[in-house]
Amino acid sequence: MSSSEFQVALQQAVAMIQAGQRFLVAAHARLDGDAIGSMLVTAHGLRQLGKEVYLYNPDKVPRRFAFLPGASDIRRKVHGGLRCDATLVHDCGARHLLGEQFPNSIITGPLIVLDHHTVVSELGDLTLRDPAASSAGVIAWRLLAALGLSESTMSLPVATALFTSLVEDSGWFRYPGTDGEAFRLAGACVAAGVSTWDTALHLDESHSEASLRLLVQVLPTLERHCERRLAILTLTDQHLHNAQASLEDVGKLVNYARAIAGVEVGALVTVSDHRCYISLRAKGGLDVGSVSAQFGGGGHFSAAGCVIPYDLELPDAERPAHAKAQLIAAITAAFAKVPAVVSSLG
């Protein structure tokens, strides 16, 4: 979507919202910071404009995001009698990522998608997509600004949600997509009353003891492949059991794999009964979004995910290793097309 196409779509979205009164606000399942942050930016902004807003996600809000104003308003089911003028979907590039229980079009009305993924499939009746935006929250704010809200008078609930979206998807302003717009909006959030330290406390300084026990379980699974450019960590149900942990305690384990000197791509392979869930993080040289797309997933250039189903013709014990081998083969092929960018570091 070009800049001019984005502006046309933005004005169409403004017209739809101005003409409507009742809206559903949603994001992809398994909420992360940008998904919940961006949807709460929109929700608070629309309420400030006098609109009636309902929030939906099929999954429970992770406890690290419970501090966000409005997080407790998110419901896991939508009443069958609800009729919305439109639904705003955030940080989502594919229909299946909304979950199997996503309401039908009778309830949702037309879908307005606010997204910044590069690897996407067709979703929505109207799309506001800018892969250059540092977070989906940035796009949500652009929409609110077009509707008449001002950075100088940004409310604290909007600012808290927007700042969370920004720091979570920019890695606290470290990742390549961090630009002047991100810093400007972060400044507006602080001016509105956001405490950077309080936000950091909630997001990154309040780990459960179980998450540390889980880290001890997972780190010994480290594997290096692709001439040591790829690092893989593996998570199993047994690890969770041993650590007395839940999936909510997994956090950002994949970053430990990426952070190793000499590694260009870090992967976390979560083994389940029927498939492996893959999280990929890169240091900028390899497009992991394209790798994930080979398995029906997607994401960004440096952060993506996918699911690799098992070959049911194999013995049970061999299925996870076979799925992991497919991942390694895909990344090996991708590495063959790009030069090493950090190999001199380790």
Question: What are the sequence ranges of the domains in the chain?
Answer: 3-204, 209-345
Lowest-pLDDT range of 71-75, 236-240, 268-272, 340-344: 340-344
pLDDT higher than threshold 50 for residue 212: yes
Residue 284 CA to residue 17 CA, distance in Å, equals 37
Token reading at 171 = 């890695």
pLDDT higher for 30 or 218? 218
Residue 237 CA to residue 282 CA, distance in Å, equals 26
> Nearest CA to 5 among 110, 159, 106, 127?
127
pLDDT higher than threshold 90 for residue 177: no
Residue 344: per-residue pLDDT? 43
Contact 44, 158 (CB under 8 A): yes
Confidence of residue 105 (pLDDT cuts 50, 70, 90): very high
Residue 345: per-residue pLDDT? 43
Q: How far is CA 206 from CA 33, 59, 169, 202, in A?
A: 15, 21, 19, 6
The pTM (predicted TM-score) of the whole model is 0.90
Hey, what CATH topology would domain 209-345 get?
Diaminopimelate Epimerase; Chain A, domain 1 (3.10.310)
Residue 119: per-residue pLDDT? 63
Hey, what CATH topology would domain 3-204 get?
inorganic pyrophosphatase (n-terminal core) (3.90.1640)
Residue 252 CA to residue 345 CA, distance in Å, equals 23
Mean pLDDT, the chain, rounded, equals 93
Residue 147: per-residue pLDDT? 98
Residue type, 48: Q
Q: How far is CA 39 from CA 44, 57, 89, 183, 273, in A?
A: 9, 10, 8, 20, 32
Task: Average the pLDDT over 269-293 and give the result.
Answer: 92
pLDDT higher than threshold 60 for residue 57: yes
